[in-house]
C-alpha cells in the first residue's frame, strides 16, 4: 500500500486597513522574504491604499466583509499595521499576529502613535511586534512556535464604568 503525503501550505493574511495612507514598506518586506525563501506559505494581502504592486502573492485593495472574514478564517496568522481595529479583529479570530506600526517618516501616517499601540499589545504577550525589516524577518521565522496569552477586551469594564458615572 502506498502512502501519499501532502505538504500543507498555510496562508498568511496581510491586512492593511482602510487608512488613506500607503503602507508599501510592509508589502515590500513580504516580497523580499518570499524572494529569499523565508516565507514559503501562500500569502494574500488586502493592501488598502498602498500603490506598491506585490510580485509574489495575490492581493486586492479592499475586501467586502464576508470575504475579509473568509480570509481571516483561512489564515494561520495575520500580518497587519499597528491599528487597534486590525489587531483586535485578528485576536478575536484567535489568530497569531505580527504587527508593524505605520511610521510618519515613510508617509504611512501623520505621526508614530502606532508604535505605542503595537508595544502595548506586544508587552501584554498578545502579539509580536516588528519595528523594522530585521525584526519582521526574525518574527516571521518564530511565529509558528510562539505561545501568546489569550486576548481579553476591557470594553465591558469601560462601558459599565461610563454607565456608573452617568447615573451619578
Asked whether residue 108 is assigned to any structural domain, the reply reads: yes
> 104 lies in a domain?
yes
How far apart are alpha carbons 57 and 71 in whole angstroms?
Answer: 14
Does 1 fall in a domain?
no
Answer yes or no: is 95 within a domain.
yes
Residue 146, in any domain of the structure: yes
Rounded Cα distance between 158 and 71, Å, is 31
Query: How many independent structural domains does the chain possess?
Result: 1
Report field, pTM of the whole predicted structure over 0.95: no
Task: Evaluate whether residue 63 is within a structural domain.
Answer: yes
Q: What does the alpha-carbon distance between residue 87 and residue 92 come to, in Å, rounded to a whole number?
A: 9
Structural domain for 131, as ranges: 11-167
Provide the residue-wise pLDDT of the chain in tens; the chain has 168 residues: 455 444 445 699 999 988 899 999 999 999 999 999 999 999 999 999 999 999 999 999 999 999 999 999 999 999 999 999 999 999 999 999 999 999 999 999 999 899 999 999 999 999 999 999 999 999 999 999 999 999 887 666 556 666 666 776
**Domain of residue 105, CATH code:** 3.40.50.2000
Amino acid at each position: 500500500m502506498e502512502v501519499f503525503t501532502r505538504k500543507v501550505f498555510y496562508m498568511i493574511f496581510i491586512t492593511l486597513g482602510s487608512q488613506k495612507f500607503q503602507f508599501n514598506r510592509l508589502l515590500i518586506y513580504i516580497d523580499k522574504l518570499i524572494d529569499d525563501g523565508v516565507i514559503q506559505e501562500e500569502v494574500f494581502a488586502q493592501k488598502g491604499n498602498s500603490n506598491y504592486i506585490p510580485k509574489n502573492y495575490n492581493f486586492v485593495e479592499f475586501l467586502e466583509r464576508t470575504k475579509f472574514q473568509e480570509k481571516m478564517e483561512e489564515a494561520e496568522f495575520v500580518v497587519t499595521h499597528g491599528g487597534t481595529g486590525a489587531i483586535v479583529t485578528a485576536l478575536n479570530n484567535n489568530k497569531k499576529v505580527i504587527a508593524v506600526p505605520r511610521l510618519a517618516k515613510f508617509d504611512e501616517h501623520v505621526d508614530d502613535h502606532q508604535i505605542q499601540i503595537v508595544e502595548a499589545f506586544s508587552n501584554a504577550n498578545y502579539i509580536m511586534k516588528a519595528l523594522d525589516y530585521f525584526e519582521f524577518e526574525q518574527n516571521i521565522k518564530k511565529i509558528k512556535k510562539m505561545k501568546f496569552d489569550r486576548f481579553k477586551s476591557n470594553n465591558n469594564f469601560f462601558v459599565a464604568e461610563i454607565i456608573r458615572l452617568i447615573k451619578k
